[in-house]
Amino acid sequence: MENTNNENYEKIDFLQAQEEVCKHLFAYADSLVLRSAIELRIADIIHSNGQPMSLSELASKLEAPSPNLSSLARIMRVLARKKIFTVNYEKLSLSPGDDEPGVALYGLTPTSKCLLHDQELSFAPIFLTFTHPVMVDGWFEIGRSIKEGGTPFELAHGAPLWEMTSKDANVNKLFIAGMTAASNTSLDAIISEYKDGFNGMEGTLVDVGGNVGKVVSSIVKAYPHIKGINFDLPPTIANAPQYPGVTHVGGDMFKEIPSADNVIIKSVLHDWGDEEALLILKKCQEAVAEKKGKVIIVDMVLHPDRHAMFDDASIALDLLMMVTFSAKERTEDEWKKLLNEAGFTHINFIPLHTSMSFSIIEVFN
């Protein structure tokens, strides 16, 4: 009898193990089905309608002459099951004894509202960027990179991402859209939660790797006593719009960063390994040395043993950095070690109430 019970427990354990493996096996399905809904702008269609919609109503708003209703129904079933959209059933007939479930009506949830395209804090561009085949292909080369060395992205494409963005306008547009949206999600927190730091600043603030200037221009708009300098590669600066109180400067952060009273560097250092990050930090230090200013790093601080909001996503983003750039996110201890090596003697961590465990790291001497 005891053997039979043991066998039953082993079978149950094995089934549970198989179930767990299946979750991982088909995890990509959830991401790619959601991607299809973003591409189809399903959330936007429901939002524009102002109320939940039936499948046929949704289909009629798609930019397609004869949409596949069966496939649409099946992806909406998955997305409702995952609570991306709500689903409720409306009876077409009020006849007694009518057991028909009625017509499914799909509505928005807080999650799907995050995916509306035409809003500043939309996650849609981020999702479309990081699930794009160009970005995903490198993940298939992780095993080879472990055995043979090299960056998985470069093994997949034969070139680093920066080279691809400089030569392929579509890849560049995709990447800028994703990065701009990612910046937007944390910008309000940076401006509001570091207000004492910005209020106490004088003179110039150079944003290193500032892309087209959204971050520094938003800071200058909120704190107009600060004079902004947006610093990035010349091809990026060439496409940057003009902002009041901001000067665009093209250059190479590995060679020289414009002299300023203070430096801000957001979501740049995680794109590089320690050797390159150390060089960038030393150039930042040189830029503020004359005025004895601060370097303000806005980046992720990893908590590998914590299970708070966004911690799992932060660990996944660390893998994305590994795959794309052979770079990494850093723990607090890793940040301290790197910053001490760069010569900074004062380090202050300020966690932000924003997505992906972002923090402000103040460093100065």
For the annotated catalytic residues, the residue numbers are 270
Residue 127 identity (one-letter amino acid): F
Q: Which helix (H) or strand (E) holds 81?
A: helix 69-81
Contact 335, 265 (CB under 8 A): no
DSSP code string of 163-208 = HHHHH-HHHHHHHHHHHHHHHHHHHHHHHHHTHHHHHT--SEEEEE
DSSP code string of 125-162 = HHHHHHTSHHHHGGGGGHHHHHHH-S-HHHHHHSS-HH
Q: Which of 156, 200, 98, 107 is nearest to 326 (CA)?
A: 156
Q: Which helix (H) or strand (E) holds 235?
A: helix 234-238
Strand partners, 364: 346
CB within 8 Å of 127: residues ≥ 6 apart: 34, 35, 38, 115
Q: How far apart are CA 314 and CA 240, in angstroms?
A: 29
Q: Which helix (H) or strand (E) holds 231?
A: strand 227-232
